[in-house]
Each structure stands twice: as C-alpha cells, then as structure tokens.
C-alpha cells in the first residue's frame, strides 16, 4: 500500500473517531434515555464542547469526499509522487490538529490549520494535472 493510501486509511479512522466524539458528547449532555430512544427531536446542544465537536465533524465531512476522490484518482492514474505525498500528509496531520483546536475553541490558529489541510488537498489535485 502506498503512503498516500495509508494516509487515506488513517483519515477514515479519524473520520470514525469524529463520528463517535460528538455522539458521546450528546449522550453526556442529553442522557442515555435520549440516546437509546428514537431521537425524533434532537435538542440543541447547550454545552460548547458538544457543539464544537459537531461542527468539527461537519467541517471534516465537507472536504473528506474531495480528499478521498483526489487520492484515489491519483493512485489509479499512477500520479503518486512528491505532491501527493506532501498533500496527503498535510491534509491528515492538519485534520488531526484541527480537532482539538476546534474542541478547545482556539480561534485563528484553528483557521490557519484548516488552510494547511486545504493546501494539502490542493497539492493532491495539482498532481493530477501536471
């Protein structure tokens, strides 16, 4: 397996973690009865951490399909190289750093880290066309 595919697999594990973190925070906030019930109505999160984890998850899921597609296209077309290696590494590690920064409510640095992940994605896409 290439390094790029390894980073893709690690990013999918990160996505799974980001499914469970807000789910656990909602269970803590709304209770086990709510979690086990039909959840016809999900109350609005009142604890900052719950909302932040939900938004961090949504943020990852906005670019994750693009990342998956770009990595797979690069791999299938044989365009793996320096740009895809750097791009996948930047995307993954920035997404790892982004989660605690968002959860802790750190402004500005969080946005810069998001830009690093975007730069990683752009590097992968660039590799497809040069």
3-state helix/strand/coil string of 55-117: HHHHHHHHHHHHHHHHHHHHHHCCCCCHHHHHHHHHHHHHHHHHHHHHHCCCCCHHHHHHHHH
Average confidence score pLDDT of the chain: 95
| pLDDT 10s digits, 42-91 | 788 889 999 999 999 999 999 999 999 999 999 999 999 999 999 999 99
Share of the chain above pLDDT 70, in %: 100
The model carries a pTM of 0.94
Q: Residue 34 above 90 pLDDT?
A: no
Looking at residue 37, what is its pLDDT? Answer: 87
Q: What is the mean pLDDT of residues 19-25?
A: 95
């Amino acid at each position: 397996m290439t390094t790029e595919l390894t980073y893709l697999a690690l990013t999918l594990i990160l996505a799974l973690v980001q499914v469970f973190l807000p789910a656990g925070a909602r269970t803590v906030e709304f209770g086990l009865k709510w979690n086990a019930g039909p959840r016809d109505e999900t109350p609005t999160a009142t604890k900052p951490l719950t909302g932040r984890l939900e938004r961090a998850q949504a943020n990852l899921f906005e670019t994750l399909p693009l990342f998956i597609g770009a990595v797979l296209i690069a791999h299938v077309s044989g365009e793996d190289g320096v740009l895809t290696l750097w791009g996948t590494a930047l995307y993954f590690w920035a997404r790892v750093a982004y989660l605690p920064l968002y959860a802790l409510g750190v402004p500005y640095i969080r946005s810069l880290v998001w830009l690093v992940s975007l730069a990683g994605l752009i590097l992968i896409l660039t590799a497809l066309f040069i």
